[in-house]
Structure formats: structure tokens, C-alpha cells
Structure 1
Amino acid sequence: MQNITGDRWLEIDIDAIRHNLEQVKARLDESVRLIAVIKADAYGHGAVETARILYQSGVDFFAVTFLDEALALRKASIRASIMLLSPLTSEEQLAAALDKHITVSVTSLYEGQLLDQVSRRMNVKATVHLKADTGLGRFGMNREELLEVCSTLKDNPCIYIEGIYTHMAEAASGNASYTCKQFRHFTAMIDEINQAGLKIPVCHCANSAVFLKYPQMHLDAVRIGTLLSGEIPAGKFNAPIDLIDPFKFKTRVISLRTLPAGSYLGYARTARLRRETKVAVIPVGFNHGLALQVANRPTSLLDLVKIVAKKCLAYFNLPRFALQAKINGYSCPIRGKVFMQMALVEIPLQATVKIGDEVEVPVHKTLLARSPNRVYVKDGEACKIEDDERTAYIVEGDS
């Protein structure tokens, strides 16, 4: 796509997103509703555009984490249901959400009481999903709190309690015991609410990992984000699912030299050429997310061993573990320390490469420090994403 301007851009494959959606729908009973999670800018794919692509394919329910994400979708004329997954803790936030008909989560007694007051004052319909904490420990209500909130809200004519949900802590692990314990706890809460005289129509606990491993936990709806973005959640899954990653981070060669064997590359001379080699400079560095990794504490001793092993194998530049850029059909190692805004790529002498050629770089979509230009492609060509009434921009963001 040589007509793309700028030195860095994202290519988002529309057909790949639709393919992933069909793969999910093929495993979903017709009675189960799909809630498409497009938080964090749809995992780097662009929330507005991804919502339009999915909406055109029949998805009518979306979920995001924060209010500003939901308001941006409404501003872009996304007319489907939009649910917030995080709490709203001020009158101003609640008023803004209710004014735009955004489905809110109630995760505490405080939020329930605040919603009761604000909805009555505004005299506007509020659609609500109650959040139960069954063992993740992030936020949500216990049994007693749920019953009290239900008692408070059920007599408010402005409030429609559409759903109740929880989030599993380790559904992707090989041990099902804790997930099953959470599920039993959740269904017991639902039963008790039903016995108290309140029937909640949409009960959901399945994220992408639960969706794959526990079809009996699909209930009335599933929340799918990772799978739509073309990735399998980390963990062990027996049943295969055919996904396509829609995301490619592209840049261009801005410098190209041939260096002799023995030349050092980068700060601290951490790389040395074994043979005469072409070396390309690309304008992508750790400021753009290259070579960055999530640095959570290892979950077990085995996890720690795996992390250390991968670091050691990457040190020896084994192709599977070293950073690789793709240039004109060649997989080429990124050598030396990655600079703040640039990186060095070792290219075989026989490769036909010139300044300005496209380079695909392994930047993780959720670790982008800032979003470059985003281009939506179909059959390899940039295209517009048509909505019922509006046309999305092909490109947005800063180059």
C-alpha cells in the first residue's frame, strides 16, 4: 500500500474482524446474546470503526470500561446498546451516561443509592446491570449487598434492571475448581434474587476464556473481546477456534547501509554482525510500544521459569523468540537495543530492499504508547466503513 502517507500506520483487516465474529457465533446458541467488548479502543483496532463493522454484521450490544469510551461511541452515532463495565461514582457521570442512554453497572450500595436519586431527579429511563463479586476481588457486591440494592431499585419506575453479571478469576487455567466454585456462587445469588421476587432477564459470566472452555456457563449472554480481536486468551484450551489477527503495525525503511562483519549495533554494543549484512533503520522504538511487554508478577514458579527461559532464548537470537520484522517477504531480526524512537533491522545481503519499503513490526496492539494513523483494508485495499447514516474516516490519529 505505497499510497499511504506517513512513516507509521496501522492496517486493520475488516474481513478478519468479521471472520472472527462468525467463528464466535458458530459456537453460540441462538438464545444467547453476544456482548462485544470493545474496551481500550477495541484492543487497538479503533472502537468506533470496530463497532460499525460489528453492527453491520448483526451485533447490537457493546461493552466498554469507561464512560468516555461510551460517550465517544454515542458521539459517533453508534445506536446499539452500550454497557459500562466500571462504576460511576458521581452525579455528573451518571447524568451524562443516562442522558445518552448508556447501560450502567452498579457495583456497590453507594452506586445503587446514587443511581436511585439521579434517575428519579432526571425522570429518565436507566438500564442497569448489577455486578456481583464471586472471587475476582476487583469490584462488585456480595449476596447481602445485591439483595439490598435490588430492594432499593426495584420500586423505582425509572430503573430497568436488565442484567446481572460476574467475572471469573482464572477461567483459562487448567484447574476448573475455582471457576466452578465462582459459577455456583453466582447462580446461587441469582436464585436468591429470583426468590425475592425480582426476575433479571440477562445473566452473564462468560468472557472469552469461559466462552471457550465452559459452554454450560454461557447463560443468557457472553462478553467477547479477545477472540474478536483475533487472539486466544492465555491459558489451556482444547477446542480449536480459527481466528485471524486483524492488526498489523507498519512502518518504512528510512535508512539502509551495508556493514562489514564485526560491526557493532546500538547502545552498549549489545549486537555484533557475524557477516557482512544490510542494516535498515525503521522509525519505531519503545516509545511506540516496540519491545515492550506486560510485566506482571509471575503467577507460579513454572511461569517464572518460562519467562526466564524465553529471555535466554531471545538473547541467542533464536527466530521464534527474537523480535522479527517482515520486509518484502523476509523475516528479519531486530538487532541491538531498541532506541526510544528507532530500531535496527538486520537484512540478508540477497534481499531486495530499498528506502521507503514497507516493514511490518511486532508491536503488541494493547501496548501502543500512542495510536498512529489507522487504515481499514479489505482485500488489501484501503476502504471506507459505511454506517447507516454516516461514513467513518479511513484514517484517524497522529502520524
Structure 2
Amino acid sequence: MFSTSTQVTFAVSRVADIIKTVATITTGKLIRSATRPTWAEVSLSFLRQNFRIVQQHVGPAVNVCAVVKADAYGHGAVECSLALEAEGAKWLGVTSLDEAIPLREAEVKIRILLMTGFWRGEEEEIVRLDLTPTVWEPWQIESLDRAAALLGVSRHPVHLKVDTGMGRLGAALEDLPAICSLLTNAHHLSLEGLSTHLASSEVLDAPSAEEQMKRFDEARRVVRNAGLEPTLNHVANTSAAISRRQSWNNLVRPGLALYGYYLPFQRAGREVSGGKWRLAVKPVLTWKTRILAIRDVGSNHALGYGGTYVTKGPTRVAVLPVGYADGLNRGLSNRGRVIVREHYAPIVGRISMDLTLADITGIPGVEVGDEVILLGSSDGLNVDAREHAELASTIPYEILCAISKRVPRRYNN
């Protein structure tokens, strides 16, 4: 029976032993123990398997540009890129030069596409590192051509992006003739690729997607009429790679699917299910922590900031050393759940910067130091990024990318 007074269990010696065992970080010759037992496990074997699944889905005639931007969606770009290269990937996609540099420093040798262009002054480094920039403005073409000439490169490949209706980046259709003229006269560049990006690829009946595809076809005609023949044409992200075969062309750019997720497909405002709209990818990342303390509290006891959760009876609460500074979305407060000893345990109270509370009442044998799954599976139970996204009114992309740098990643094959 619980006491109505607050009791706290905190096994200092055991936690210290656990920390030394599960959270050792090696930096050169220095070995130090991390002070917070919260970490993410990244399965490189699942990543490689997911890549194979995507490649098999689109077929051997279609190249797969594996998107590793945003630190591989929070999974670790260097480690994931090396694994994807070993699996046979020929292309990687990143946002910008600063994301590409660590990959080249790690001796990633395959092609790297800079999907959102570059800043003035970066041209020479782009050419030097053999990166493939996306271009759409005159100054980008002119400055890259000068950099390639300066470095003695006969033809540096570029990809031209067309804005077909998303309204972010890319050349407008009416500007294409002038852009094509610049590319034709750029003696040290070659137009290797033509691309665009769909705004609503997961909405199966979105008129905008079909309109964008038509505009892309028109862009291809304009480019061909200018005497340019890009060998790669690419439109499809993860959702389009799954659902819109006509968008594949000869290169697709999956990101989220590589890490085990994709957005739910919709038609007529409702989610569409069925095997046709599924890809058998597996989540690559499992996020874990350990119980820092256990508190026994009585009924009518407010928990956390603002007292947003009040116990209805005697309650056992696990204090977890993880919070929104680690990337645990605050929208999961009083809504999310974790897995403890093969049981679901609801998150109670507001998630704070460093701590989260879980109700472990009725779960037998729980002790300080026990492993807790924040994202992942155990014995048929599952909490994934899609569940977090639905509860927090966001998307799986944000859930994964938000896991912060203070959560160490551990890689296994």
C-alpha cells in the first residue's frame, strides 16, 4: 500500500554503475563516462535494408539519391552515409556545403547533391570537393563557371531546379530560356540534372501534384529545345517514390523512408490504407533512457510545472532524465507514453527541459536504473515517431530531427 506522504527512491550507486556500463564515450585516447543515461541506438543494418527496399521498389533503372540532410534526419550523417555507400548508394542528398564537408572529410566518395544551392563565396570549395550543386539563378551559374575555370576543371556538373508551383526555390518557367542560354555558354559547366519538388505528394488526389508534373514536362521541353540534354531528371521524394510512379523519371530522392517512416497517404481528406500505399521499411532509431528516481505519492498530488496533472489515487512515478532539451516534444505532456518492463507507462505532467515523469503504478518490479524506451519496440509494444507526431500535431520528420546533440548516438550493424 502506498503512503500518502511522498517517498523517493534513488539508487545512486546502481545508477553510477549503469552509467559507466551503458554510456561510455571514447574520444581519441580519453575515455569518460557520460553523466546522463539517455541515448539513441541507430541500426545501420535497418538503414541498409531500407535502402534496398526503396531500390527494389523503384527498380534498377532508377537511381536512388539517399537524402542525409539535417544530420541524416537526426541519425548521424557521417555514419549513415558510410553505411549507405557500402550498401551501393551512388548518390547522397544534403542541404548545403556545410553538410557535405564532414562527409568528404570522412572519405565518403560517392556523388553528393547540394539540394538548396549555395552561398556566394562557396563556389571554389564546391568544385574542389567534387560536389554537385543545384542552381537556378544567373549568378550561381556564372560564379561556378569561373571557379571551375580557375581550378582547371573542364566540366563541372550542375543540376537545374525549376519552380513548378511550390514557390520556394527554382527557376520560373518563363525564366528558363535565359537560364539555359547561360548554361550553354558556361564553358566549364555541364547540365547533368533537372529537378523540381512536389508540394503535396502524399495527397493522392491533390490537383497541384498533377499540375506540377505537367509544368515539369514543359520545363524539360524548354531545356531540350535549348540544346541541353540532362541525363538525370528527378522529382520524387519519399511519398512520391511510393505513390507516384510517373514522378520517378530516372532518379528519386527518398529521405524519411530510409529511416523507417513515411507520411500517411490521403484521398478526399481521409487517410488511405492498403498494401499499395505501404513500404516495408523499419524504424532505424531507438531512443532510450533509464529511470533516475521513483516517487510514491498520494492522491490529489499535482505533478510537474503548473500542476497540469493531479493524481486520482496513490501513484508511483518514475522520473526520467530526458526533456525537451533532448528533443522530447513538449506536446507529449499528459498525452504520450513510454515503455517500461514490457508495459506502457503514460507521461504525466508537463515535460520539462531535463526531466519527464511517467506513471508506473501497477507495473511490477520497476527499479531505479531500469531501461525505458521513448521511441522503439519491445515485446510487441511500440512507440514510434509517427505516434509522437500525431500527439504533438506535427510530422515524423520534426520528431526525428529534434533529437538533440546531447543525446549520444550509438551505432550497430
**Partner residue, 1:355:** 368
**Equivalent residue for 1:118, pick from 137, 147, 154:** 147
**Partner residue, 2:298:** 260
**Partner residue, 1:239:** 277
Letter in 2 for 1:83: L
Give the distance between the partners of 2:161 and 2:264, measured in 1 at CA.
24
Give the distance between the partners of 2:212 and 2:172, measured in 1 at CA.
12
SS of the residue 1:105 aligns to: strand
SS of the residue 1:333 aligns to: strand
Letter in 2 for 1:4: V
The answer on whether the counterparts of 2:330 and 2:350 sit within 8 Å (CA) in structure 1 is: no
Measured on the aligned residues, the alpha-carbon RMSD in Å equals 2.0
Which of 22-31 and 234-243 deviates more?
Answer: 234-243
**Partner residue, 2:382:** none
**Equivalent residue for 2:96, pick from 66, 85, 93:** 66
CA displacement 1:204-233 (0-9 Å, x = unmatched)? 111111111110110010001011111112
Give the distance between the partners of 1:371 and 1:61, measured in 2 at CA.
29
**Partner residue, 1:296:** none
SS of the residue 2:167 aligns to: coil
Give the distance between the partners of 1:243 and 1:275, measured in 2 at CA.
42
Letter in 2 for 1:268: G
In structure 2, list runs of 5 or more residues that go unmatched.
1-17, 24-33, 267-271, 376-387, 389-398
**Partner residue, 2:62:** 32
**Partner residue, 2:205:** 175
In structure 1, list runs of 5 or more residues that go unmatched.
294-313, 379-399
The answer to whether residue 22 in structure 2 is matched with residue 4 in structure 1 is yes
**Partner residue, 1:397:** none
Give the distance between the partners of 2:169 and 2:246, measured in 1 at CA.
24
The answer on whether the counterparts of 1:276 and 1:349 sit within 8 Å (CA) in structure 2 is: no
Deviation (angstroms), 1:335: 0.4
* Distance change >3 Å, CA 14–CA 142, structure 1 → 2: same
**Partner residue, 1:277:** 315
CA displacement 1:25-64 (0-9 Å, x = unmatched)? 2211211111001110001111011111111111110010
The answer on whether the counterparts of 1:116 and 1:153 sit within 8 Å (CA) in structure 2 is: no
The answer on whether the counterparts of 2:290 and 2:370 sit within 8 Å (CA) in structure 1 is: yes
**Partner residue, 1:98:** 127
Please give the residue correspondences for 1:82-93 in structure 2 after superposition, counting only pairs within 5 Å. 82-90=112-120, 92-93=121-122
Which of 123-132 and 362-371 deviates more?
Answer: 362-371
Give the distance between the partners of 2:251 and 2:143, measured in 1 at CA.
27
Give the distance between the partners of 2:407 and 2:304, measured in 1 at CA.
25
Give the distance between the partners of 2:146 and 2:408, measured in 1 at CA.
43
Please give the residue correspondences for 1:10-21 in structure 2 after superposition, counting only pairs within 5 Å. 10-21=40-51
The answer to whether residue 183 in structure 2 is matched with residue 153 in structure 1 is yes
Give the distance between the partners of 1:291 and 1:31, measured in 2 at CA.
40
Give the distance between the partners of 1:80 and 1:63, measured in 2 at CA.
11
**Equivalent residue for 2:409, pick from 358, 371, 374:** 374
**Partner residue, 2:165:** 135
Give the distance between the partners of 2:185 and 2:352, measured in 1 at CA.
60
The answer on whether the counterparts of 2:318 and 2:359 sit within 8 Å (CA) in structure 1 is: yes
Report the count of equivalent residues: 352
TM-score by length of 2: 0.81
CA displacement 1:375-398 (0-9 Å, x = unmatched)? 0124xxxxxxxxxxxxxxxxxxxx
Matched-pair identity in %: 29
The answer on whether the counterparts of 1:13 and 1:247 sit within 8 Å (CA) in structure 2 is: yes
The answer on whether the counterparts of 1:32 and 1:221 sit within 8 Å (CA) in structure 2 is: yes
**Partner residue, 2:339:** 326
Letter in 2 for 1:284: V
The answer on whether the counterparts of 2:176 and 2:222 sit within 8 Å (CA) in structure 1 is: no
Letter in 2 for 1:346: D
The answer on whether the counterparts of 1:292 and 1:367 sit within 8 Å (CA) in structure 2 is: no
**Partner residue, 2:254:** 224
Deviation (angstroms), 1:325: 1.2
Letter in 2 for 1:244: K
CA displacement 1:140-185 (0-9 Å, x = unmatched)? 1023433222222234342121101001111111423211111111
The answer on whether the counterparts of 2:195 and 2:235 sit within 8 Å (CA) in structure 1 is: yes
Deviation (angstroms), 1:234: 4.3
The answer on whether the counterparts of 1:109 and 1:145 sit within 8 Å (CA) in structure 2 is: no
The answer to whether residue 376 in structure 2 is matched with residue 341 in structure 1 is no
Give the distance between the partners of 1:234 and 1:110, measured in 2 at CA.
39
Which of 122-131 and 54-63 deviates more?
Answer: 122-131
